[in-house]
Homo-oligomer: A and B are copies of this chain.
Amino acid sequence: MALVVQKYGGTSVANTNRIKRVAKRVIERKKQGDDIVVVLSAMAGQTNYLIDLALEMQPQPDKREMDVLLSTGEQVTIALFSMAVKNLGFDAESFLGFQIPIETDTAHTKARIKNIPTDKLKRALKQGKIPVVAGFQGIDASGSITTLGRGGSDTTAVAVAVALNADVCEIYTDVDGVYTTDPNICPSARKIEKISYEEMLEMASLGAKVLEIRSVEFAMRYNMPLHVRSSFTNSPGTLVVKEDKSMEDVLVSAVTYSRDEARITVKKVPDKPGIAAALFSPISEANIVVDMIIQNTREGNLTDMTFTVPKNDLEQALEIVKKTAEKIGAEAVVGDKNIAKVSIVGVGMRNHAGVASKMFDILARHGINILMISTSEIKVSCVIDEKFTELAVRALHEGFGLDKEGFSEG
């Protein structure tokens, strides 16, 4: 008998019929003898609806009250889901963040989980019930409701699984697993059977939207196996686990892309100590995350600084950077929205030389110019002209043999 934490996302509980279907699914599994704890998101669309209401009240909604508002979404689904389970003759008990409690810090709208006592969940399990936990929400030390940020229900599920020392945390979504790349732009993309936490983490950072980054970090830290699968089929999904020997045989596990970034170039910056700090401190103070940074030396003591920011923050970042540029005597500031980042990810890179140059070669052979490069131990990212995105993804997917059956298993 296994203890399984199952998390169902917004599309899986988007309406009353889907909630009923998930309830049936959970009960089928329970009948097989497993203990199940369910973590639910809000119905798809509900969180956005509530945000729109908030924006009507206040252009920058108060964050404490935002959490009070948004946490109602999951409260509705856990109540409805528990009713559905009871209607099928099984017992369920809903748990809100404050009831378990899911203890967090006080960072409203992006709180972090600090502790999860398990006595109430264990008691419910002992009584034969299916505990149904509201995802995304917690409570801080002062008794205020907090939320964990977008995708926070994944984190709730992993944290609950870790706290309960569950055998596995199953993340149910509307796709049937993690793919070698986006099947929407690359028809030969294949489902990955098993992938390491590190690779999943890189993929989540690089634009793959199937799992929330913090949930993967959490799972990795506590070595909690994740099983990403579809709530609409019964086929096995992708297992996210600790790296093992077999994974190293695979050079590249996946190709990802992101169109969410924009590039800013500051031209002819005097190259002297303190310039980078002068440039980037005001940006980070505005809570804008800078991803890649490149500095080219050029003509005496003048240099060009190029970096990327989220596309949504481009206008604000440009405003800030232009002010700084004036102060430090830079020549010009140029923004560019039409870029994309394509990346290859794989733990096999650690032991195989030449992966990055193979990537550059593939892109070159397809006439794609590389604007920026960034590497880590297990990934290589290239910023390219946005119009080449699909071409680059398909070329890399084929070039590293990811379209070939069985390759990902080494």
> Which A residues are closer than 8 A to B by beta carbons?
16, 19-20, 50, 53-54, 56-59, 61-62, 64-66, 68-69, 71-72, 75-76, 78-84, 86-87, 92-94, 96, 98-99, 143-145
Of chain B, the residue at the smallest CB distance from A60 is: B87
A232 and B19 CA atoms in complex are apart in Å by 40
- Majority SS of interface residues in chain A? helix
Contact B16 A56 (CB under 8 A): yes
CB-based nearest B residue for A52: B16
| Known pairs A98-B98, A99-B143; A54 contacts B83 (CB<8 A) | yes
Residues of B within 8 A of A84 (CB): 57-58
Residues of B within 8 A of A86 (CB): 58, 62, 65
Count the copies.
Answer: 2
A57 neighbours in B (Cβ, 8 Å) = 16, 19-20, 80-81, 83-84, 87
Which residues of the partner chain B approach A61 to less than 8 Å between Cβ atoms?
83
Complex Cα spacing A81 to B61, Å: 11
CB distance from A145 to the nearest CB of B (A): 8
What are the residues of chain B within 8 A of A82 when measuring CB–CB?
62, 65, 68
Tell whether, in the assembled complex, residue A68 and residue B94 are in contact, meaning their CB atoms are under 8 Å apart.
yes
Q: Is the CB of A96 within 8 A of B79?
A: no
A94 neighbours in B (Cβ, 8 Å): 64-65, 68
Could you give 23 example pairs across A and B, Cβ below 8 Å?
Answer: A16-B53, A19-B57, A53-B76, A57-B80, A57-B81, A57-B84, A57-B87, A58-B86, A59-B87, A62-B82, A62-B86, A65-B80, A65-B82, A65-B86, A65-B92, A65-B94, A66-B79, A68-B78, A68-B94, A69-B75, A72-B72, A96-B145, A98-B98
10 closest A-B pairs by CB: A69-B79, A57-B83, A68-B79, A72-B72, A58-B87, A58-B83, A16-B56, A65-B79, A65-B82, A57-B84
